[in-house]
Structure formats: structure tokens, C-alpha cells
Chains A and B, each alone.
Chain A
Amino acid sequence: MKVFEVWAFHGSAVFYLLTAFWSVAYFIWDRRFRLRWGQTFLSIGFVLETLALIARGLRTGQPPIFSGFEFLVSVVWALVACCLVMSILFKVRLIIPFAVPVIAILFTLSVINFSTHGADKQTEQMELVHRLWVGFHVGALIMSMGCFILSFATSLMYILQERRLKSSTGATGWARRLPALEKLDRLSFGSIGYGHLLLTLGLLIPVVLAGEEGLEPGPGSLVIWGLIVWVIYGSLLITRAKMLFGQRRIALLTVTGAVLGTLAYPFIRFLLDAGPRIHKALG
């Protein structure tokens, strides 16, 4: 089982890398690299990763979402799933070359995590991970991250499309395949909506269920970060639902929100880890 799992992870990595190379080629040479190819490479990688995750789950007897490595590959899995849904159901194939850089970064981080800590590193609280609600809690958080990354990619596409339309010369090259502004806005809004709902569930589950079991979820860096992201995307959701700004500004805010959300985590870690030491040193 372990051989199959390793083989499938490596296979998916190869196909994700192939998608990444294809994306670069697509942006440079446009038509010669058809969008369907990227979708096919990504789909094969996704199937292999799904098989690898199932194999890992069966082997370890727990959902493959608890160690650092598992968490990152699961985020990649959720993101690829969202990309494929958008590409196949909503016919926005261009989302693939836009989202692939994020996929590549996350996959590289997973590989680094794998080599630093080892893929088989068991979580410290083994008893906890066997509880069903913990699986839902982490799963919902992973899916919400996939949705937020997707909203970031669609908003980026919106900004590019908007800039090209404002230039009055029309689009050339791959930009001709950018979807309509209205569609990008709708997809971004939908991704934020679903992402926020999943994040809310992911944050509420341990508050309700851990409390019932007598466990106290402490204010760790991840919890604080989750709350900050919840506030950022909650504000974006309200702004978009009530159309407090025009679509362009909302797209800009979504991209800014995603960057701030990402930067918030290392900042919180720094404050929690180094803060007390600095205060102590200052006296």
C-alpha cells in the first residue's frame, strides 16, 4: 500500500509540474498550447493525488489531513478540485494557468515539509484525530482555503480583463480567452461565499464539540489566523453582497485580502513566539 501511495504522490507531482510548464508555455505561445491540454494534465494529477490520499488514509487509519505534509497536499487537492469544477462546469479553463502557480508553491512546500519532518510523522494528539468532528473541522478548513485561493485567482483575472477593456484596444493573445467581467465577479463572489461558510463551520465545530468533550481550544496561532481570515472574507462578502463598491474595487479588495490573509500567519507566529521574549528583553 505504501509503495502505491508513494508512486501515486510522485505521479501526481509529475502531472502538476507538467501543468505548470504548460501554463508558462501557454502564456508565452498562446494558441499552440491548447487549454484542454492543461485541463487533461491537471485532471490526471488530481486522480493520482486522490488515489494517493485514499491509500494513505487506508494505511494510517485516519483522514490524511493532520500532519503538515498531509494538510498541504490536501489544500492542493481542494484547490485542484475547485479549479476543475470551474474549468469543466463553468467553462473557465483559463483558471488553470492562473491557479497553477499557487498549486506549484503549495506542492513544493509539501515536498519540503515531507523531507524536513517526514511524511509519516504522527500527530501528537493521536486520540483526537480519530474523532469524526476533527476530520470535518480540518476538512472544512482545507476546502475553505481552496475556495479563497480560487477567489484570488478569479479576482486577478478580473483586474487583468478590466485593465485590457479600459485600454480600448481590445484583448490580444491569451487575454482574448479571459471570461466576461460579470462571470468573473460572480465566480469570485461564489468562491468567497462558499469559502466563508466552510471556514465558519471549520471554526465553529471545535468550539461546540470540543467544549462538549471538555477540551479547551487554546488561542494558538492557527486559531487567531483563522479568525482574522474569517473577518477579512466576511467583510469582503458583505461588501460584495451589498455592492458597497463597484466590481473593480471589490476585485482589488479580494486580491489585497488574500495577500493580507497570507501575510497575517507569519506575523501572528512572530508576535506569539517572539513577542514575549522582546517584552522580557525590554524589561
Chain B
Amino acid sequence: MEVVVIGLNHKSAPIEVREKLAFSGSQLPQALAELNRCTGVSEAVIVSTCNRTELYVTSEEGLFGNTQAAQFLSEFRGPPRDAFESHLYEYTGIDAVRHLFRVISSLDSMVLGETQILSQVKQAYMEAFEHACTGKFFNRLFQTAFRVGKKVHTASSISERKVSVSSVAVDFAERIFEDFSGKTAMVIGAGEMSELTLEHLREHGIGATVVANRTHEKAVGLAERIGGRAVRFDAIEEELSRVDIVIASSGAPHFVIEPAQVRRAMRTRKGRPILFIDIALPRDINPDVNRLDNVYVYGLDDLQTVVMRNLDAREKEIEKCTTLIDKEVEEFTGQMRLYNVEPLITRLHERVEQIGRSESERAIRRLGDLSEEQKQEIAYMADRLVHKILHKPLEILRSDAKNGGDGRYIDAVRHMFGMEEDGESAEEEEKD
């Protein structure tokens, strides 16, 4: 039995390929059932996000590989195999475990350190679990993976800093204002980026929004869409005394806001701070505005510098996260090997104990008239003998399994105690 991951992601396949192989939520139950019916597959989880489609299965060694996965994806999603087969990657055994841990820790994500992947994989696992497509191994593997994902995020600062222009803008706003609920944001121009920033602010609970645009009708349209208020372009200065955050992306060829206007507004504001986010090219806000007290201006360059610096900081954390993941992979594989050898240990124990018990009973019968105490002492002696004889061999078996030994001790024990058939039947039981 081995764990196999076959899939494609943003690094191995372009979006045109990825979108053809993505599974929607409603398709997953049927896809899982079909994948589980593939030859040799005993457990299956399908992770499908906008950046990756991955099939996680446990199967008999060599029975499920690239060919079978491509066949399944082609049959289920439609595109011919040769359209995507070359983009598929495959990991087995310890590499598959490492890959899952890397994915869940977002080291394999398009935006390094994003936390959404953790909930996406969790959702994929729950779907498989609810449809009885996971067994003991996957339950253990995915639970460990979730723990590892959380640990990586808390032990490192990989997900700490914002890495998109709009989120960095909101981050600046959060450093100035304690609470957005009583605050008003004004958008100058109806560009896509300003709308995105506004969306971020709305997610953080901004109280009210005002839209100003050269074409007033456009401002009215956007205001209606976002539930804000539209104002005429020439009313911007008047609004400056009321609003707290200004997102500018008007596309005007000259500055829309000059220091004198802000200075006048600040008198009415009584020193309350105001934040300008200038994402227009050419700029809308005269940079000298930043010289005024309690006025903060951030341009596209400032925001992008922070984004780059934050990305660099996240990348610096990769080594730390990889070390942590490698340690966890080693721990997990050790535990799994131990977990696999435990049934053999139990059976060996039972067998030798049985011999001890029957031999002590025979001795008691042959010795004839013995008191209860003497009988018990003989039985205890046999027990002690069994434990003492087995102590060292079992310790070696466990440590060999945990440290990834070549399995010769396991084979030797099976051979010496005539447990080859037992082993096979136990593996059968596991499968059931």
C-alpha cells in the first residue's frame, strides 16, 4: 500500500488547462465515488481549487499512476489525455506526504503564505470523509497535515504580511484608524483597483462610501452598486473635511488634490487624520500633501515597495518552514511505519504468551498437588519469562520500524515464528 498524489497546479499547467480539469463542488461526490472504484484504490481525496487539481489516493504499489489518473480525469472532465498529461506531476510515498504538507502550509501556493488553502484542503477532505472515501491512513495523514499547516503558520511569519496592493493599502489604514465602522471612504474615479481597495475596506467594516467621478453618471452607477453616495467632481474639496480615507484613481492628467485644498479641509477637520491612497497613474494627489500634519499619502510606488518587501520577507521564511515540514514528514512516516508493524508485534506477543501459558499449565498438571499460590507463581514466572525474552526483540522491531529500517528484522520475526501467512491475513484485514 502506498500513498500517491497526481495532479497539476499553477506551476505545471497554464490556466487554460487548469480550468478544464477543475471540479465543482457538486461534481465532487460522484468523482470521488468513481475514483474510489479505480483498480487498486482504497482511499481517495480530490483537492480542486483555482490553482490546482490533485488526486490523493492510497493504492496497491504501482496500480495507480499517471496513466490511470489521466484516464480518470479525461473520462470525468472531458478533455483528451494528451491535452494535459504532460502537465501532470506524481509523488509517491514519503514525497507525497511531503507534498501534501507543503501544499497545506501554502509553500506550493501562487501567493506564498496565503491561508485559504488550509480551509480548501480541509473541505476536500471532509467531502471525501463524508462519502466514506477515506480510511485509517488518510484520516491520520490529513489530520496530521492540518496540524502541520497550522504549526507552520504560527511558528513562522510566512502569512503575516500583506502581499497585494489593495490589502497593503488597508493595512496602512488600519495603522491609522482603530475602527472603520464610523469612518467614510471616498473613491475618486471608478477604476478597478480603487473598487478592489474599497471592497477590502468594506470587508473590514467601513461605515460609508462616497464616489466622485468626472462623469457623474458613472459615479452614480458605482455608488448604487456598492451602496454608497455619489458626489460631483467639483465637490471633492468640500468632502475632504468629512471623509477619512480617499482612494484616488481618476486618470486625470494633472493633480486632482493640492496641498492648499487639504490644508483648508484640515482646519475644519480639527486635526483628525486623513489617509490618501493614490493608485492613479499619473498621480492624482500632489505628494506635498504628505508634508501636512495628520495627513498620510501613499502612492502606487509606496504600496508596491511594501508588497515586494513583504514578499521577500515571506520568501525568507521558506527555509524555516521547509525544515519544519521535513521534521514533521519524518515524524509522520516513522509513526506510520510503527503503526504498520504494531499488528505483527501484537500477534507475536499473543503467540509467545500462548506458548508460555500452555507450558505453565502443563507444568502445573505434571507437578500434581500444588497450592493456589504455587500455581499462580508458576503462571507469573511464565509471564515474566515471556516479557523478558520479548522485551529486547520488540524494542528492536519498533525502533527499526520508526527509523525506517530495511524491514529485515520484521521478515526475520515472521520467518522465525512462522507468521508469514498471519502477516498476509492481517494486511487483508487492514484493507477491509
The chain A residues found within 8 Å of chain B, CB to CB, are 31, 161, 165-166, 168-172, 178-183, 186, 243, 245-250
B175 at the binding interface (Cβ < 8 Å): yes
In the complex the two chains form, is B296's CB within 8 Å of A182's CB? no
B20 at the binding interface (Cβ < 8 Å): no
In the complex the two chains form, is B273's CB within 8 Å of A247's CB? yes
Say yes or no: A166-B171 contact (C-beta < 8 A), given A180-B176, A243-B271, A246-B266.
no
Cα distance A86–B177 when bound, in Å? 18
In the complex the two chains form, is B302's CB within 8 Å of A168's CB? yes
Which A residues touch B290, using CB under 8 A?
166, 168
B395 at the binding interface (Cβ < 8 Å): no
Complex partner residue of B175 from A161, A169, A172, A243, CB under 8 angstroms: A161
Cα distance A246–B292 when bound, in Å? 11
Which B residues touch A179, using CB under 8 A?
178
Q: B173's closest neighbor in chain A, by CB?
A: A180
Say yes or no: A243-B270 contact (C-beta < 8 A), given A169-B305, A248-B294.
yes
In the complex the two chains form, is A170's CB within 8 Å of B271's CB? no
Which A residues touch B309, using CB under 8 A?
169-170, 172
Q: How far is the CB of B309 from chain A (nearest CB, A)?
A: 7
Cα distance A246–B176 when bound, in Å? 14
Cα distance A169–B303 when bound, in Å? 8
In the complex the two chains form, is B175's CB within 8 Å of A178's CB? yes
Say yes or no: A166-B177 contact (C-beta < 8 A), given A243-B271, A245-B271.
no
Over the window 173-201 of chain B, the binary record of Cβ atoms lying under 8 Å from chain A Cβ atoms (1 yes, 0 no) is 01111110000000000000000000000
Q: B162's closest neighbor in chain A, by CB?
A: A170
Q: How far is the CB of B177 from chain A (nearest CB, A)?
A: 5
In the complex the two chains form, is A180's CB within 8 Å of B157's CB? no
Complex partner residue of A246 from B174, B179, B271, B299, CB under 8 angstroms: B271
Which A residues touch B273, using CB under 8 A?
181-182, 246-247
Cα distance A182–B244 when bound, in Å? 12
Which A residues touch B297, using CB under 8 A?
168
Cα distance A27–B179 when bound, in Å? 27
Which A residues touch B272, using CB under 8 A?
243, 246-247
In the complex the two chains form, is A165's CB within 8 Å of B294's CB? no
B344 at the binding interface (Cβ < 8 Å): no
B contact residues, total (Cβ < 8 Å): 26
Cα distance A243–B270 when bound, in Å? 6
Say yes or no: A180-B175 contact (C-beta < 8 A), given A165-B296, A170-B168, A243-B270.
yes
Cα distance A248–B294 when bound, in Å? 7
Which B residues touch A165, using CB under 8 A?
172, 175-176, 296
Cα distance A183–B179 when bound, in Å? 9
In the complex the two chains form, is A246's CB within 8 Å of B293's CB? yes
Cα distance A246–B266 when bound, in Å? 9
In the complex the two chains form, is A170's CB within 8 Å of B171's CB? yes
Say yes or no: A182-B293 contact (C-beta < 8 A), given A168-B302, A169-B306, A170-B171.
no
In the complex the two chains form, is B157's CB within 8 Å of A169's CB? no
**Which B residues, 74 to 116, have Cβ-Cβ distances below 8 Å to chain A?**
none
9 new A-B contacts at CB < 8 Å, known A168-B297, A243-B270, A246-B266: A31-B157, A168-B290, A178-B175, A180-B178, A181-B176, A182-B178, A246-B272, A247-B271, A247-B294
B129 at the binding interface (Cβ < 8 Å): no
Which A residues touch B176, using CB under 8 A?
165, 180-182
Q: B179's closest neighbor in chain A, by CB?
A: A182
Q: B271's closest neighbor in chain A, by CB?
A: A246
Which A residues touch B302, using CB under 8 A?
168-170
Cα distance A31–B313 when bound, in Å? 13
Cα distance A183–B174 when bound, in Å? 10
Cα distance A191–B193 when bound, in Å? 40
Residue among B172, B176, B299, B309 having the largest count of chain A Cβ atoms under 10 Å: B176
Complex partner residue of A181 from B157, B175, B266, B305, CB under 8 angstroms: B175
B298 at the binding interface (Cβ < 8 Å): yes
**Which B residues, 257 to 300, have Cβ-Cβ distances below 8 Å to chain A?**
266, 270-273, 290, 293-294, 296-299
In the complex the two chains form, is A180's CB within 8 Å of B177's CB? yes
Return 25 A-B CB contacts under 8 Å, by A number: A165-B175, A165-B296, A166-B290, A168-B297, A168-B298, A168-B299, A169-B305, A169-B309, A170-B171, A170-B172, A170-B306, A170-B309, A171-B175, A180-B175, A180-B176, A181-B175, A181-B273, A182-B177, A186-B178, A243-B271, A243-B272, A246-B271, A247-B271, A247-B272, A248-B293
